Amino acid sequence: MQRKVIQQGPSTMMVSLPSTWIKENAVKKGDFIDLDLRGDEITLSITTDKGKKSCKINFSRKEDYFDRIIVKKYREGFDEIIVTYEDPTIMEKIRKTLKKLLGFEIIEQTQNSCTIGNLAKGSSEDYLQMVRRMFQITLALGESCLKLTKGNKQMIDAIQEMNETLIPLEQYNLRLIQLQKEFSPDKKISDFFLIWNIGLCGKKWASFAKDHLTKNNSYTKKEIEFFQEVVEYQNTIYDTYYDQKKETLHKIKEKETKLRKTGASCLETSKHKMIIFNLLRMIDRLHEITLYFEVLE
């Protein structure tokens, strides 16, 4: 659609808005319109209470999978969720679920219902910042697990705290993807799997530490070196995500091939086969993140 630019005064240019868009969004005289400037493009948007996404959910039993349903609606970008229930004890579980959902709070409550509202706007700048933060926490989890293998038991509590921070960040980023108006459907899908895999890597590091690395094991030099190479491989993936250089991507593929050979060799001789096996599984998960770079190519 094209619009002719009209000059009003010596330094003011005006463009008329499409009447269909005005009617659909109930734009009135005096309303404010948001302008998002991106190079030679301008995106217009308007936020009104009428445009607020709202849904209603009813839970007849506390055994219902309401936590999954609430998380699903959160990811889909709903601003308001009205929950009705027969058992008031459900509220305790709702509050527990909301701890994982950044920006969502109970804004109204009665004996048999509550209204959950979104208190965070979630701009494109928030999304980029939160993805970086989530990625960095995953890197820190890998580094902390490596320190555990070297005897630093103080990392156990730090790993648990980072994992508790990572989980709501993952859900928040999945929600923000749906709120990005400039994202194409393909972009939303590829970013969904990127965030999902970064989150899985972080949670795998945390469970790896809890289930295997908290034991008083003594690791060989070869095992620790392989562990360190996997952590460095993850760091390289992070660097590639932000510089997006093709030569770095080729190095990642070469490094992955080399790592798999090293891991296979360690698996044959190691006394801690579950440790090596889990590191190889981590390489598989990190590989899923590198597929995102192929989409960028």
Q: Is the pLDDT of residue 293 over 90?
A: no
Computed on alpha carbons and rounded to an integer, the radius of gyration of the chain in Å comes to 24
At 246, is the pLDDT very low, low, confident or very high (cuts 50, 70, 90)?
Answer: confident
Average pLDDT over residues 168-185: 91
User: Is 59 or 93 the better-scoring residue by pLDDT?
Assistant: 93
Residues 209, 261 contacting (CB under 8 angstroms): no
Q: Is the pLDDT of residue 275 over 90?
A: yes
Cα(157)–Cα(155) distance, rounded to whole angstroms? 6
pLDDT cut 90: percent of the chain above it = 46
Q: Which pLDDT score, from 0 to 100, does residue 63 have?
A: 61
Burial (Cβ within 10 Å: 0-12, 13-18, ≥19) of residue 44:
middle
Question: Running DSSP on this structure, what letter comes out for residue 17?
Answer: P
| Number of helices followed by number of strands (H, E) in the chain | 9, 8
At 216, is the pLDDT very low, low, confident or very high (cuts 50, 70, 90)?
Answer: low
Residues 71, 81 contacting (CB under 8 angstroms): no
User: Is 62 or 115 the better-scoring residue by pLDDT?
Assistant: 115
| Cα 125 from chain centre | 14
Q: Which pLDDT score, from 0 to 100, does residue 287 have?
A: 94
Q: Is the pLDDT of residue 49 over 90?
A: no
In sequence order, what are the residues at sequence separation of 6 or more whose Cβ sits closer than 8 angstroms to the Cβ of residue 51?
25
pLDDT digits (tens, 9 = 90+) for 227-243: 999 999 999 999 988 88
Q: Which of 110-142 are b and which e, b meaning 16 or more Cβ less than 10 Å from the residue's Cβ?
A: eeeebbbbbebebebebbeebbeebbebbbbbb
